[in-house]
Structure 1
Amino acid sequence: MTSIENILFEHGPIMSSELSNRLHLKESIPLNTASQKVSRDRNIKKIKGFYTSNQSFCFLEQHEQNGLFYDRFIKSLFDNGKKYWYCINALRLHGGMLHKDFLECYTNYPVLALKGHLPFNKVLQKFIEQGILVYNSPYYSIAPKFSLQRNSSVANRTIEMIKNDTITSFHSLVKNIGLISFNTGKHFAEYGKYRWSFKGVSAVTGLFQNGSPGFLLADILLGTSIYKDDVSFFIEKLKSIQSFANAPRIMPFLIVDDLDKEALGLLKQKGVVIGFIKELFGQKYAETLKELVSILTNAGASLKKSPDKYLDLIKQLKKYNEGLVNNIRGTLFEYMVGHIHSINCQSIDLGREIIENNARHEMDVLAIYNDRIVIAECKAIKSKIDIDVIDKWINIKIPAFKIWFDKQETFKKKQLEFEFWSTSGFTKTALDRLEKFSNSVQKYKVVYKQAEDMRQIARDMDNKKLKEELDNFFLKTDV
């Protein structure tokens, strides 16, 4: 092992400047010579192109399996490459994965050409080329090699649905009270070459300038703790557009469910209107949303600790926002199936993603029992499940899940079971295919559940709340 490798082995991932300085002291050689040796060393790994003074982030291959690697990397960007840090921080805040529309909003990279600034697409491409990010259209995610505690894709998608719904409600509010002109509100709109979650033309007195109206601009952060540094992307976007010659006047909003005191103080100092959800739409609604996000981001623990909690939230959400609860019906149905399994299984997971057969696959529900593993597919749609969906499940998903299962040493003595749950049932051809397939397989078990099966399960569980929501929400045909 070389001196450079020894330093990295002892101190972990560090910047090339620090590595050179340590080598300079260790070997009593000129600093320039030490820098050249670090630069030319092919035995260590480096992340380049993001740092001031042409520095690089240096590490050993073994560091990639350590959680320290991710923490050191994000700190290296904050200290030495702040403009690139915004992207990684946005992903970190949102469980490691974000829809392209939201990531464009949460970074201060222009989406159109702007002199002196790297555009969003070029910045993101640099991350992808170095294996830091993965793009699976339309989502960007932090590469698996970074040991990061991640939200499930179910939680991420549902939180994004909640944010989209909140933006829609905010749109209605500012239009109805006259903060924006009628029919000018746009979601995920470009303004000043940057992306914003919401934009509207405002004719409010005080925003007019040289006979032209101003603009209301808004972004939304929800479902995560927000600190001072986390709101800097918004302030930097505002600073950039306000520096333009003859820039229109603006009214900036940041919509949040919670905020650290320092972040609140900074936003107020910069003249940003903080739109707390509890103030915009009511305390009870805000609390319900917060609880919903919490159980989704900690689904396994929540199901074991308070398995019925989601049933209470469904009832509350119906009072405040029936449209939203219907939009996330699919997620809540997966949670319901997880609830049923959680009563007797050892552990439960929702939205587990795997990569097999050169493709990404998602397990709606993964239930681990003492003697078996259950992987459930869940569909809560109005129409009956057709043969095409069943063929994809049988020919693509099940083989991928079987390969994954066979690789798990801890599952060696467990039976594998696949389930398909459908609130609307199956077409005759789909049902025939399921019956034939179920009867033909021997190495694992295949079962399917329809409305009456679910009602019987609820009766056997003697769970009054579950029986009510099955009939009034999950199995109701007019939602």
Structure 2
Amino acid sequence: MSNVIQSYLNKHGPSLSSEIAEYLVNEHKLTPQTARQRISRASQNIMRLELSFPRRAKFLFLKQQAGMGIYWSRLESALLATNSAYGFAITSLNERGGVMPKKHFEIACGSPIKQKKHLSADTVLSNLKSANLVKEIHVEGIGTCIYIGLHTNHIETLIPVMKARLFVEELLLRGIKSWMRKLGFISYNQVAIRDIDKNPTVSTTAWDLAGPSYLSPLVSFSPNASKPNPGFVICDILLTREVSEIGIRPFLQKLNALKSLKNVGKQLCFFFANSYSEAAFNKLKSLGISPATTNTIFDNDTATGIKELMDILSEVAIQTLDPKKIDTIFNSLGKIEGAASRLRGALFEYVIAEAMRFKFFNAIELNRLCQTKEGVKEADIICSNQQEIRFIEAKGYGFNRPVTASEVKYWLAEQVPIFRAYALSHTDWKDKKMIFEFWTSSLFSDEAIEKLNKAQHNTKKYQIVYRDSENVSDEINSSGNKALIKTFNDHFTNHPLNVKS
């Protein structure tokens, strides 16, 4: 009978024990009890996933199927078919490219933070990690992230896309927050958006944006109360190419958990995306949820700028980047409250890359993960030619935000040694002159300059260089690229919020 079960798994792929039992009853005329016994005594070639399913079912698979694409697709289907919290969690990761910040899991996974008769988000994550389905990784600038085990051998390739998505979603959440405040949808001083340290919550659930609302359809009145009880505006955001009907299921599951609670105010619900499948759009509409898109909240120019920004930030090794495109992004997205300073930080390295490309470097890489025995660090820009290799740290700050001594100390003590070790292990770089540079569109504090000068004096095996706004401007002007010079002057040097005191 083990051969029959093995043949079933070979033909249909990994399956629930309940599905196999039904097959044995229908095709081999076994009683349900006998079928269950045969499955429990199956040979060692048949593996069992240590994760709970309804009615004590187990997920069975062959050794050679473990970790394969069919394993993951069949597992997700089995979990979703049984309305498992684990299925919603895996779906939420899949919809976000397979990786997300750990802190965002309680927003995205579909489970409440803590609620009776529900698995908590922490429990779901812990069990998925114990079953080796989800793993953790530290991402520079983000912190601890979680990812689906399927991607273990290529997780580094998924990180740039995640970072791009997170950056653009944060910009939009700021814009949505401002929009809702101005229209009076939400209490002005109590609305909150997610960040790495803390997520907005309504009762037992976490959201990308949430806050109390005193719109008349949402408020309620308690007997003898002098003030109305507010309702809530809640929304999640997912900026992928298209959100599918499966992609909204964790959101709906979380909303169902919230709506099952008593004494929680009414909710006005939004889901924000670039676009939806027809099924997803209609499903949200039928449930009274607003399926908002970037085009409906912002104008077409802004929506186009969002797409172009995502494309740029997702690309690690750019061949070339028209400075006019950077200019367009600043002009289209700069109208979002607080976006200009964030864009300056994100796009400064692209400006530097173009300046270096126009001067004398052919090979330019951005945001490369440099992995050594001592650790992993991300290099903002790497430039190389036949004689030298340069690692450039880029800080696109305004003049009101100088580079501090602690930032310089971290660069010198933590990053530069990793970059140098990485270069020394690289066949094409190890014999080249090594230069490590720190560029900023702002200034360096006096303490930071002192540390940099000391490092320059004491370093013999490689070169330390630092450039403030004036030096950077000189470098960009010397490139002779008129479009690049204009972009830097308009959005970094002469921007009205970037004036020297």
For the superposition of Structure 1 and Structure 2, which TM-score range results when normalised by the shorter chain?
0.7 to 0.9
1:133 aligned partner? 135
Deviations, residues 390-415 of structure 1 (Å, cap 9, x unaligned): 34323322332344445556766766
Distance 1:45 1:210 in 2: 57
Q: Which runs of 5+ in 2 are unaligned?
A: 28-34, 194-198, 223-228
Are the counterparts in 1 of residues 91 and 250 from structure 2 also a CA contact under 8 Å?
no
1:463 aligns with 2:481: yes
1:230 aligns with 2:247: yes
Distance 1:213 1:395 in 2: 51
2:381 maps to amino acid:
V
- Closer, same or farther: CA 183–392 of 1 in aligned 2, 3 Å: closer
Distance 1:446 1:57 in 2: 57
The residue correspondences of 1:237-276 to structure 2 (distance < 5 A) are 237-245=254-262, 248-276=265-293
Are the counterparts in 1 of residues 394 and 440 from structure 2 also a CA contact under 8 Å?
yes
Distance 1:288 1:13 in 2: 43
After superposing the two structures, state which structure 1 stretch, 449-458 or 114-123, moved more. Answer: 449-458
Q: Determine helix, strand or coil for the equivalent of 2:152.
A: coil
1:170 aligns with 2:187: no
Distance 1:395 1:149 in 2: 24
1:393 maps to amino acid:
W
Distance 2:39 2:59 in 1: 14
Measured after TM superposition, the shift of residue 433 of structure 1 is 2.7
The residue correspondences of 1:182-193 to structure 2 (distance < 5 A) are 182-187=188-193, 188-193=199-204
Distance 1:387 1:178 in 2: 43
Measured after TM superposition, the shift of residue 91 of structure 1 is 2.9
Q: Which runs of 5+ in 1 are unaligned?
A: none
How many matched pairs?
A: 461
Distance 2:240 2:352 in 1: 24
Deviations, residues 80-99 of structure 1 (Å, cap 9, x unaligned): 67421333333333344433
1:240 maps to amino acid:
A
Deviations, residues 277-311 of structure 1 (Å, cap 9, x unaligned): 3222322222212221221112434x536465223
Q: Determine helix, strand or coil for the equivalent of 1:328.
A: helix
Q: Determine helix, strand or coil for the equivalent of 1:225.
A: coil
Distance 1:285 1:304 in 2: 23
- Closer, same or farther: CA 45–37 of 1 in aligned 2, 3 Å: closer
- Closer, same or farther: CA 149–47 of 1 in aligned 2, 3 Å: farther
1:323 maps to amino acid:
G
Distance 1:7 1:457 in 2: 67
After superposing the two structures, state which structure 1 stretch, 86-95 or 144-153, moved more. Answer: 144-153
1:451 aligns with 2:469: yes
Aligned-residue sequence identity (percent) comes to 20
- Closer, same or farther: CA 350–241 of 1 in aligned 2, 3 Å: same
Structure 1 vs Structure 2 CA RMSD: 4.1
1:206 aligns with 2:212: no
2:205 maps to amino acid:
Y
Which of 450, 453, 464 is 1:432 aligned to?
A: 453
1:364 aligns with 2:380: yes
What TM-score do you get using the length of structure 1 for normalisation? 0.79
- Closer, same or farther: CA 108–387 of 1 in aligned 2, 3 Å: closer
Which of 273, 291, 303 is 2:308 aligned to?
A: 291
- Closer, same or farther: CA 286–190 of 1 in aligned 2, 3 Å: same
1:55 aligns with 2:58: yes
Measured after TM superposition, the shift of residue 237 of structure 1 is 2.0
Distance 1:9 1:15 in 2: 7
Q: Determine helix, strand or coil for the equivalent of 1:304.
A: coil
- Closer, same or farther: CA 408–129 of 1 in aligned 2, 3 Å: farther
Distance 2:236 2:437 in 1: 40
2:439 aligned partner? 421
Measured after TM superposition, the shift of residue 376 of structure 1 is 2.3
